[in-house]
Chain A
């Protein structure tokens, strides 16, 4: 500390302190050594003396001073309180402002809730949360957790997912799912290419296909590609294309195993659930993707024939004449009666095609998710329903083509061997089509659309 600072502090002390011998001695020592301190001392003493001289001429009453001091004290306290309050408000405002600024700069990604699709089932599903089962309409962000049963998820993107409990599935949106655990199969229409399913260990991007995914409790995942191809990727491996007919195992740590061939049993099981068929046995090949043509020389099947779904949930504006599907066994001796399918009835249609006589009769038992409403058995019934109930991308034999070569369409049960049998619950259809070398057999099966036979979950 300099002498200047010292002398200032000493001179400004209260008089009774400053006039103590020790302080006076200290001041003297400073002004003896320092000319500037001496000058300051002289100026201060002159100021102090003049101040006293001036103020002594002022009359003053003690009570006024006391009142003044009290008032000043209160005022100071108020000012202090106001400053504290202002500081607090300013601090809170600043914190709030920063938070708002941060929010505006980095807005929270609020989940945009919108309809992603809907689910349906034909059998009881036990949901994880029985008190609050999921709404039939699936919103983005919904989580479907079931402990028993199976259901179909139809997304707006055109992707159909077959889910088998126990399953824990999160709907990110209609283009992405997160399968936490359980088994799901996806049937992706051409418009749904790019659809993704993620699991804790792998991400699958569809490239136009049918594929299945099984997620184990430890997060490891089995990817089965039925048709087409998918792209698989994880943190541990670069994106890989998995072709149809192969399966991969991805460990919980994200490592990819060697591929293996998907068994036909797996394929049948997986495909049937996606198209509303609970089970299929026999030598009919189930096709998820419809063939481009059902003309005999175009449609080559491996076994006795094939089956594919033509339409899902469609209605005609007009009454349609069909063969009835009341429970029973029908043959050319006991043909089914005809009945009128009421206009507006919503149905799904399947075409059974048997065209390989050399392979022997096509024999199959098909259990549908929904009730069988009727058949188009005759050529006329088939032809009249092709336009509305047939698949838009499939070529069907027309009446004009019903010449000798094509003789047989619509003559399903005109032969002794041909049998059509409907179970008592009208869900199961057994067919035995013994087509000849000059004919082929086709049956269009009409089943109630899911919306009309929906089973409400418990």
Chain B
């Protein structure tokens, strides 16, 4: 279903809104995803909620005030979706509104923009070996599971998980260190 929005829909205006929305959503989605994941700490749930937020954002895109930050607006939708999800799915992590607000407060007080962190991550990823980077990618690629790779490679699943765990920890330390260096400079 395509929601046309409050104003009268013409083919030209539809194509124009769609282009704007895609551009804005592509830019805001990572931030929205961060927000949702932080609140639910479950990737499957976060994916579902993000998709739901995207649909709602498109449906309400005509209500979007172009003077406001789209990501902030989308995060507002995400917040409502998380609260809705919490009521429906008995969310384990954020059981209270108080914790939710504290998480938001910490996230908002972070002195680094998401763009800074993204840049730091890209630099640290470049420092990884190809094999480490590929191994990390497995986890994030649909259709490939660590378990199937481990079996095919003749290694134990635990060994693969451990390897991934070590790489992620190293990468996180690298990003943290780079951000600290950036703050010092």
Binding site for B on A (CB under 8 A): 12-15, 18-19, 21, 24-25, 27-28, 31-32, 35, 38-39, 41-56, 58, 60, 62, 64-66, 68-73
**Partner of B169 from A12, A45, A53, A70 at Cβ < 8 Å:** A12
In the bound complex, residues from chain B placing their C-beta under 8 Å from that of A68 are: 130-131, 134-135
> Is the beta-carbon distance between A53 and B33 smaller than 8 angstroms?
yes
**Partner of B165 from A12, A45, A54 at Cβ < 8 Å:** A12
**Partner of B99 from A21, A31, A44 at Cβ < 8 Å:** A31
Query: Which of B10-18, B58-66, B77-85, B153-161 is the interface stretch?
Result: B153-161
> Is the beta-carbon distance between A69 and B160 smaller than 8 angstroms?
yes
A27 with B93, Cβ < 8 A, contacts A39-B106, A44-B172, A70-B154 known: yes
Binding site of A, secondary structure by majority: helix, strand, loop or mixed?
helix
> Is the beta-carbon distance between B140 and A52 smaller than 8 angstroms?
yes
Q: List, sorted by A's number, 12 A–B pairs whose CB atoms are closer than 8 Å.
A: A14-B161, A31-B99, A41-B103, A42-B103, A46-B117, A47-B175, A50-B34, A50-B114, A50-B121, A51-B136, A62-B144, A68-B134
Q: Measured between C-beta atoms, what is the minimum distance from A377 to chain B in Å?
A: 111
- Complex CA distance for A51 and B137, rounded to whole angstroms: 9
In the bound complex, residues from chain A placing their C-beta under 8 Å from that of B143 are: 62
**Partner of B135 from A35, A51, A69 at Cβ < 8 Å:** A69
Q: State which residues 116-173 of B face A: CB under 8 Å.
A: 117-118, 121-122, 125, 130-131, 133-141, 143-144, 146, 148-150, 152-155, 160-161, 164-165, 168-169, 171-172
Q: Measured between C-beta atoms, what is the minimum distance from A256 to chain B in Å?
A: 80
Not counting A43-B176, A66-B149, a sample of 13 additional A-B residue pairs whose C-beta atoms are within 8 angstroms of each other reads: A12-B169, A18-B41, A24-B42, A24-B92, A27-B93, A28-B99, A42-B107, A43-B110, A53-B33, A54-B122, A58-B141, A60-B134, A65-B137
In the bound complex, residues from chain B placing their C-beta under 8 Å from that of A42 are: 38, 103, 106-107, 110
In this assembly, does B71 line the interface, its C-beta being within 8 Å of a C-beta of chain A?
Answer: no
> Is the beta-carbon distance between A62 and B149 smaller than 8 angstroms?
yes
> Is the beta-carbon distance between B144 and A46 smaller than 8 angstroms?
no
A12 with B168, Cβ < 8 A, contacts A24-B93, A42-B103, A56-B140 known: yes
- Ranked nearest first, the 6 interchain pairs of A and B with the lowest CB-CB distance are A69-B153, A55-B140, A24-B92, A45-B38, A49-B34, A66-B152
Which residue on B lies nearest to A64, using beta carbons?
Answer: B134
Q: Measured between C-beta atoms, what is the minimum distance from A380 to chain B in Å?
A: 113
- Complex CA distance for A50 and B120, rounded to whole angstroms: 10
In this assembly, does B4 line the interface, its C-beta being within 8 Å of a C-beta of chain A?
Answer: no
- Complex CA distance for A241 and B15, rounded to whole angstroms: 129
> Is the beta-carbon distance between B153 and A66 smaller than 8 angstroms?
yes
Q: Measured between C-beta atoms, what is the minimum distance from A43 to chain B in Å?
A: 7
- Complex CA distance for A35 and B102, rounded to whole angstroms: 9
Which residue on A lies nearest to B98, using beta carbons?
Answer: A32
**Partner of B38 from A46, A53, A70 at Cβ < 8 Å:** A46
> Is the beta-carbon distance between B103 and A38 smaller than 8 angstroms?
yes
In the bound complex, residues from chain B placing their C-beta under 8 Å from that of A21 are: 92
A55 with B130, Cβ < 8 A, contacts A66-B153, A69-B160 known: no
**Partner of A32 from B99, B150, B161, B172 at Cβ < 8 Å:** B99
Which residue on A lies nearest to B161, using beta carbons?
Answer: A14
> Is the beta-carbon distance between A51 and B171 smaller than 8 angstroms?
yes
In this assembly, does B177 line the interface, its C-beta being within 8 Å of a C-beta of chain A?
Answer: no
In this assembly, does B3 line the interface, its C-beta being within 8 Å of a C-beta of chain A?
Answer: no
In the bound complex, residues from chain A placing their C-beta under 8 Å from that of B107 are: 42, 46
A25 with B92, Cβ < 8 A, contacts A49-B34, A62-B148 known: yes
> Is the beta-carbon distance between B92 and A71 smaller than 8 angstroms?
no
In the bound complex, residues from chain B placing their C-beta under 8 Å from that of A18 are: 41
In this assembly, does B5 line the interface, its C-beta being within 8 Å of a C-beta of chain A?
Answer: no
In the bound complex, residues from chain A placing their C-beta under 8 Å from that of B148 are: 62
> Is the beta-carbon distance between A46 and B135 smaller than 8 angstroms?
no
**Partner of B136 from A12, A45, A55 at Cβ < 8 Å:** A55
A55 with B141, Cβ < 8 A, contacts A19-B41, A24-B41 known: yes
In the bound complex, residues from chain A placing their C-beta under 8 Å from that of B176 are: 43
Which residue on A lies nearest to B90, using beta carbons?
Answer: A21
- Complex CA distance for A65 and B136, rounded to whole angstroms: 10
- Complex CA distance for A38 and B114, rounded to whole angstroms: 18
**Partner of A54 from B41, B125, B169 at Cβ < 8 Å:** B125
> Is the beta-carbon distance between B103 and A65 smaller than 8 angstroms?
no
> Is the beta-carbon distance between A65 and B175 smaller than 8 angstroms?
no
In the bound complex, residues from chain A placing their C-beta under 8 Å from that of B135 are: 65, 68-69
A60 with B138, Cβ < 8 A, contacts A25-B92, A46-B34, A49-B30 known: yes
- Complex CA distance for A58 and B130, rounded to whole angstroms: 12
